[in-house]
């Protein structure tokens, strides 16, 4: 059986990278896979401090973005993680399966904890175990994500394999990452060598899903570039990370590839390319953003979707968790 699972953290500043690298791909996958779960991962969010009021609003914002982008809540399961306790319960079991050495290798922990890792939360360190629990609580088989989640998904495979080995049964599937499209790693608009990120303190580094038309156009206009005109072939973008990023974003928004974009804009400078990119971004994002705003004003509707999703998710996860408990040797009524 094939089953999709993926998630987004409700940590605020949902951005173009999240949309192009993940959410937009999910919209397409819902037609290919009958069984899809999309989760607002609030347990993950609190691995770094979240103001409680903001967390509530950001949870609704991410759910609104998923629905506005075109994920159908009738056909798919949209829910927030904390409402299905199997995630936390299975994560504990995986805390006891995963090895410290495996987590020590996680580059995202090193990046997020920074120099002062003694002050990072234990949750931030154990984060990938919870991610494994998210997917495997449903025996998820396919996980559509951006490039930055690749290492975490390798760990999920290691955890599944060790669990199956330790308990002597091919119980959990080996998950397949689905990393596709031209925007698997959208970079910062201010620095082509760092990823566009929710936590970047510079708001100009990213296009937020809540930015208005003027904001989008202004940020693209101000984006860092170089003085050269665009090349006619993709090879010419080597060593030009900012140019490569903007061309990649254009290709993703236009649903085409980098070669096609360079076929059209090769030889032209950024003075011509940036306004074209801004127009395209506004044309493609505005309808999603308008619907997102409408949904964010209708918290009741969003909450109803999340609640119904949590019930469906809970039914699925409870059955699997009970089998896990039997395998592990937990006595239950
Ligand atoms: P998060 O919330 O950081 O990001 C959500 C999704 O957006 C993708 N993404 C990007 N794609 C392209 N360019 C970027 N600059 C960019 N930034 C983010 C991410 O790859 C992700 O697909 N650990 C996950 C959430 C998670 C999860 C899971 C995902 C928790 N449990 C289980 C899949 C399955 C995270 O922090 O995503």
Q: What are the boundaries of each domain within the chain?
A: 4-179+299-328, 203-294
Pairwise CA distance, residues 63 & 302, whole Å = 7
**For residue range 126-184, what is the model confidence (pLDDT) as tens digits?**
999 999 999 999 999 999 999 999 999 999 999 999 999 999 999 999 999 999 999 99
Q: Measure CA of the first residue to CA of the last residue in the chain; give whole Å.
A: 29
Q: Domain 4-179+299-328 sits in which CATH superfamily? A: HUPs (3.40.50.620)
Res 295: pLDDT? 98
What is the distance of C-alpha 245 from the center of its chain? 18
Query: Confidence class of residue 116 from pLDDT cuts 50, 70 and 90?
Result: confident
Angle 32-33-36 from CA coordinates, rounded to 5°: 135
Ligand 1 center from residue 197 Cα (angstroms): 10
Residue 58 CB less than 6 A away from ligand 1: no
Pairwise CA distance, residues 127 & 132, whole Å = 9
**For residue range 266-290, what is the model confidence (pLDDT) as tens digits?**
999 999 999 999 999 999 999 999 9
* 203-294 topology per CATH: Tyrosyl-Transfer RNA Synthetase (1.10.240)
- Taking residues 214-226, what's their average pLDDT? 97
Residue 195 CB less than 6 A away from ligand 1: yes
Q: Is 117 a catalytic residue?
A: no
Q: Is 162 a catalytic residue?
A: no
Per DSSP, the three-state class of 186 is: coil
What is the position in ligand 1's atom list of the atom closest to the CA of 135?
A: 32
Q: Would you say 142 and 178 are in contact if contact means Cβ atoms under 8 Å apart?
A: yes
Residue 135 CB less than 6 A away from ligand 1: yes
Ligand 1 center from residue 212 Cα (angstroms): 23
Residue 18 CB less than 6 A away from ligand 1: yes
Res 39: pLDDT? 98
Q: Is the pTM of this model over 0.95?
A: yes
| Equal CATH topology for 4-179+299-328 and 203-294 | no
Pairwise CA distance, residues 69 & 173, whole Å = 29
What is the distance of C-alpha 100 from the center of its chain? 25
Pairwise CA distance, residues 1 & 34, whole Å = 10
- Output DSSP code: residue 80: E
């Amino acid at each position: 059986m094939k089953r999709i699972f993926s998630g987004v953290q409700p940590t605020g500043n949902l951005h173009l990278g999240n949309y192009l690298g993940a959410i937009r791909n999910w919209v397409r996958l819902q037609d290919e896979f009958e069984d899809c779960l999309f989760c607002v991962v609030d347990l993950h969010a609190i691995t770094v401090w979240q103001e409680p009021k903001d967390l509530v609003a950001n949870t609704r914002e991410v759910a609104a973005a998923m629905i506005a982008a075109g994920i159908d809540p009738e056909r798919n399961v949209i829910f927030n993680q904390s409402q299905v306790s199997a995630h936390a319960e299975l994560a504990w079991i995986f805390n006891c399966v995963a090895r410290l050495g495996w987590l020590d290798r996680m580059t995202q922990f090193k990046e997020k904890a920074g120099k002062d890792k003694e002050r990072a939360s234990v949750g931030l360190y154990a984060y990938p175990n919870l991610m494994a629990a998210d997917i495997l609580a449903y025996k998820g088989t396919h996980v559509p994500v951006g490039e930055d989640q690749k290492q975490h998904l390798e760990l999920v495979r290691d955890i599944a394999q060790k669990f199956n080995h330790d308990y002597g049964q091919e119980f959990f599937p080996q998950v397949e990452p689905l990393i596709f499209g031209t925007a698997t790693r959208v970079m910062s608009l201010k620095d082509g060598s760092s990823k566009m990120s929710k936590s970047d303190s510079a708001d100009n580094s990213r296009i937020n899903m809540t930015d208005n038309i003027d904001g989008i156009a202004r940020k693209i206009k101000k984006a860092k570039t170089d003085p050269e005109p665009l090349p006619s072939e993709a090879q010419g973008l080597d060593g030009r990370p900012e140019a490569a990023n903007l061309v990649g974003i254009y290709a993703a928004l236009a649903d085409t590839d980098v070669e096609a974009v360079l076929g059209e804009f090769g030889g032209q400078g950024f003075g011509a390319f940036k306004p074209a990119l801004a127009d395209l971004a506004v044309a493609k994002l505005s309808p999603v953003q308008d619907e997102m705003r409408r949904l964010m004003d209708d918290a009741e509707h969003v909450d109803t979707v999340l609640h119904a999703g949590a019930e469906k998710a809970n039914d699925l996860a409870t059955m699997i968790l009970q089998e896990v408990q039997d395998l592990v040797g937990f006595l239950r009524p």
